[in-house]
Amino acid sequence: MNQESESINAKEIKKRRTFAIISHPDAGKTTLTEKLLLFGGAIQQAGSVKGRKADRHATSDWMEMEKQRGISVTTSVMQFEHKNAIMNLLDTPGHEDFSEDTYRTLTAVDSALMVIDVAKGVENRTIKLMEVCRLRTTPILTFINKLDREGKEPIELLDEVESVLNIECAPMTWPIGMGKRFKGVYHLYEDTIHLFSATHGGKIMQGETIKGLDNPELDALVGDQAEELREEIELVKGASHEFNLEAYLAGTQTPVFFGSAINNFGILELLDAFADYAPSPQGREADQRFVSAQEENFSGFVFKVQANMDPSHRDRIAFLRICSGKFDKGMKINHVRIGKKIQVGNAITFKADSRKNIEEAYSGDIIGLHNHGTIQVGDTFSEGEVLKYSGIPYFAPELFRRVVLKDPLRGKALQKGLVQLTEEGATQLFKPLKNNDLILGAVGILQFDVTAFRLKAEYNVECVYDNVSINTARWVSSDNPAKFEEFKKKAFDNLAKDGGGYLVYLASSRVNLQLTEERWPDIKFSATREL
């Protein structure tokens, strides 16, 4: 690679902002996603993101949603541009039964946007997701939503974020009233007032802005609230943290914006700041060494696999986050786990309303690889070097069901469907050594219904579930081959293979697990399988 192309790479990489939105269900993630796409010009009309909004509702709603999903804008990755920055927004499911999927996706982003409902404040899911972001010190920008409704006092809310989430808040904008008295936001660093006008539809309007807090125009337009605002701003400036880019990038401070996603309001300020301050693709630890995003050789890892994403294509897509270098159409890349080079001529990229073949992609981008069953979540691809990006575990499921086929003649289709759906990682398939049972394991109960629904819809297989007396699972291994052989013989009735062919001990109860662990000190029982 010559110097010129290297600097083109560096420029392209610098433009990227790869992020996810974290929030408690109902705070407005779907609405905000849609509005970001609208502002980014990736969609023309509000209302076209069906997304996974129904995640939070009952199973039946979720399924209905899935049914209607079709080829619409429900991609897991959405790319759009703003202020010369290229944004890669990674969708994460809202329902907690899908949290594993969310955790894995969060390993593929460089920053996050946190949405908080002004009336509800910091909620459970937000706390959990924040903990996950902390594991990799992911910088977080905050959007306080629904200012068109009555809610908590902004100062109180910032206190709550600071104490519950243990992060400094730096207000960037400040609301002028709320609910019926909501008049707009004041930008503390640009000294401008953006007046609120409700625009529910898909149109983007810049809205009216006034320069300067002391501008008499403000008094003319918002009356008494102008003086209230001036007093409040003085207070806020004295009592809150000043924006500090380094602290934001280090994950210790979150810049805060106020607005109303449904009204397209306050989003431009957020997006501008995001383009200016959010980190471009960061380097990443591999087992072997630290890999910088600017390195010229291509590398990346798969954080998600999805089957039948687009029912009309009926394909399985592996989502790969590029960690270094550049991807060119037709390039040969090394599938490190299986030590095989593959030529990739048809990787896909995701625009909001379409998918198309990629010509090139850079560090920070997500590309979709067609998966024919060889790619697993966690796999690393490189240009040749043996690299393994770590930190994407499979968790031992806590819930188990035996899959019972309604029509015995559909056995083959069932196997195929289960293998393909469990590749996604949300449910895991276990095959006991002692019989031909198919045991599904999941972390959340909704996963079972979704799997049954998708088996019917995507593979035309009907099944029901039986309860099984399995309480938990542990991956087993040992440095002592003789003991391991002995264990395998003795524990044969409790052993199974998982989807990746790894040996798993299925325990009927916690006590059973504990006793077995005590009895076999040479055997390692793991609650996670590192990928």
Contacting ligand G4P (CB under 6 A), which of 30, 88, 427, 428? Answer: 30
Shortest CB 24 distance to ligand G4P, Å: 7
Contacting ligand G4P (CB under 6 A), which of 18, 23, 173, 240? Answer: 23
Rounded CA separation 64/81 (Å): 32
What's the first-to-final CA gap in the chain, in angstroms? 32
Rounded CA separation 80/350 (Å): 10
Is residue 397 near ligand G4P by the rule CB under 6 A? no
Contact yes or no for 28/261 (Cβ under 8 A): yes
The token pair that represents 31 in the structure block: 């609405």
Residue 15, H or E segment = helix 3-15
Beta carbons within 8 Å of 60's beta carbon, 6+ residues apart? none
Near ligand G4P in 84-103, by CB under 6 A: 94
Rounded CA separation 493/433 (Å): 7
Total residues at interface with ligand G4P (CB under 6 A): 19
**Ligand-binding site membership of 325 (annotated):** no
Near ligand G4P in 39-58, by CB under 6 A: 53, 56
**Ligand-binding site membership of 27 (annotated):** yes
Shortest CB 232 distance to ligand G4P, Å: 21
- Residue among 123 and 437 whose Cβ is closer to ligand G4P: 123
**Ligand-binding site membership of 91 (annotated):** yes
Is residue 29 near ligand G4P by the rule CB under 6 A? yes
Contacting ligand G4P (CB under 6 A), which of 260, 306, 380, 422? Answer: 260
**Ligand-binding site membership of 171 (annotated):** no
Question: Quick one: which segment of 27-35, 68-76, 496-504, 522-530 binds ligand G4P (CB under 6 A)?
Answer: 27-35
Q: Which residues pair with 412 in a beta bridge?
A: none
**Ligand-binding site membership of 92 (annotated):** yes
Question: Quick one: which segment of 257-265, 282-290, 340-348, 471-479 binds ligand G4P (CB under 6 A)?
Answer: 257-265
- Residue among 134 and 149 whose Cβ is closer to ligand G4P: 149
Is residue 28 near ligand G4P by the rule CB under 6 A? yes
Task: Provide the H-helix boundaries in 81-123.
Answer: 99-106
Contacting ligand G4P (CB under 6 A), which of 126, 145, 447, 516? Answer: 145
Is residue 25 near ligand G4P by the rule CB under 6 A? yes
- Residue among 125 and 529 whose Cβ is closer to ligand G4P: 125
**Ligand-binding site membership of 145 (annotated):** yes
Strands (E) located in 43-139:
77-82, 85-90, 111-117
Question: Phi/psi of residue 457, each to 5°?
Answer: -70, -35
Question: Quick one: which segment of 29-37, 80-88, 360-368, 510-518 binds ligand G4P (CB under 6 A)?
Answer: 29-37
- Residue among 26 and 449 whose Cβ is closer to ligand G4P: 26
**Ligand-binding site membership of 23 (annotated):** yes
Q: Comparing C-alpha atoms, which of 399, 394, 379, 371 is closest to residue 337?
A: 379
Question: Quick one: which segment of 25-33, 105-113, 195-203, 348-356 binds ligand G4P (CB under 6 A)?
Answer: 25-33
**Ligand-binding site membership of 29 (annotated):** yes
Rounded CA separation 160/166 (Å): 9
Q: Comparing C-alpha atoms, which of 400, 487, 490 is closest to residue 445?
A: 400
Q: Comparing C-alpha atoms, which of 89, 499, 129, 454 is closest to residue 306?
A: 454
Residue 265 in 3-state DSSP?
Answer: strand
Contact yes or no for 142/169 (Cβ under 8 A): yes
The token pair that represents 141 in the structure block: 């920008």
Longest dimension (CA), the chain: 86
Output the known binding site.
23-30, 91-95, 145-148
Binding site for ligand G4P (CB under 6 A): 23, 25-31, 53, 56, 94, 145-146, 148-149, 260-263
As annotated, the binding site for GTP includes: 23-30, 91-95, 145-148
